[in-house]
Amino acid sequence: MKKWFAIFIGSLFIGVGINGLLAPHHLLDGGIIGISLIANYTWGFQPGLVIIFLSLPLYGLAWFYHRSYFYNSLHGMLISSFFIDAFAPIRHWSHPPLLLCALIGGFLVGTGIGIMLQQETSTGGTDLLAQMLSRMTKVNVGILIFLIDAIVIVFGGLILGTQSFLYSVITIIAVGVTTTFITLTKSSPPLTN
């Protein structure tokens, strides 16, 4: 029950953060969420569906190598993807200035991801990859997510332009700091297949 509550609340934070604050200014998060936003901004694809599609290879790896991550993250990925697409209409509501959107949006997305990671679930995608890498390297999962996010933001900046890049950097710093803070005291469970 605690895990389902974390998935629901975390997905709510993520859906509101992305659609209410990041998307109106074409800002990016990192990882597969960032890639899905790039696909949304450039081709109009629904980001939640892109997340599901791009997560499939990582779920294949998790199925064979870290089955507990597969089971613990599948429902988180599906529900957060649903919330990301379901909250799309709030993109057209009034929103704060760009800098506040980058900061608050990053805080909301980071809080949602952190809440889910505390309960050993995630939004899938690169969060799932970061969980597996954290288990192997003992590096905090929030730091790994930050590094992966940085790669996506640089790529997105090349496509979307300098302003989007600069404010997206602020966003991923807010996501990374928030996720790291929330997960810092959480010790990882033993790896099981």
The model's pLDDT over 66-93, given as tens digits with 9 standing for 90+, comes to 787 788 788 889 999 999 999 999 999 9
pTM of the model: 0.86
How many other CB atoms are found less than 10 A from the CB of residue 74?
18
| Amino acid identity, position 53 | F
Phi, psi of 46, deg, nearest 5: -70, 120
Question: Taking 70 as the threshold, does the pLDDT of residue 190 lie above it?
Answer: no
Alpha helices in the chain (DSSP H): 2-16, 31-43, 47-65, 67-86, 98-118, 125-137, 141-160, 162-183
Question: Taking 80 as the threshold, does the pLDDT of residue 174 lie above it?
Answer: yes
C-alpha–C-alpha distance, residues 106 and 172, integer Å: 6
Sign of CA dihedral 147, 151, 154, 160: negative
pLDDT score at 5: 94
Task: Please tell me the least confidently modeled range out of 32-36, 39-43, 188-192.
Answer: 188-192
Contact 100, 6 (CB under 8 A): no
Question: Taking 80 as the threshold, does the pLDDT of residue 186 lie above it?
Answer: no
Average of per-residue pLDDT values in the chain: 88
C-alpha–C-alpha distance, residues 13 and 23, integer Å: 14
Tokens describing residue 55: 């997560």
Q: Give 185 or 163, the one with higher predicted confidence.
A: 163
Q: C-alpha dihedral over 80, 134, 142, 32, to 10 degrees?
A: -40
Q: Give 1 or 25, the one with higher predicted confidence.
A: 25
Tokens describing residue 187: 């010790």
How many other CB atoms are found less than 10 A from the CB of residue 92?
10
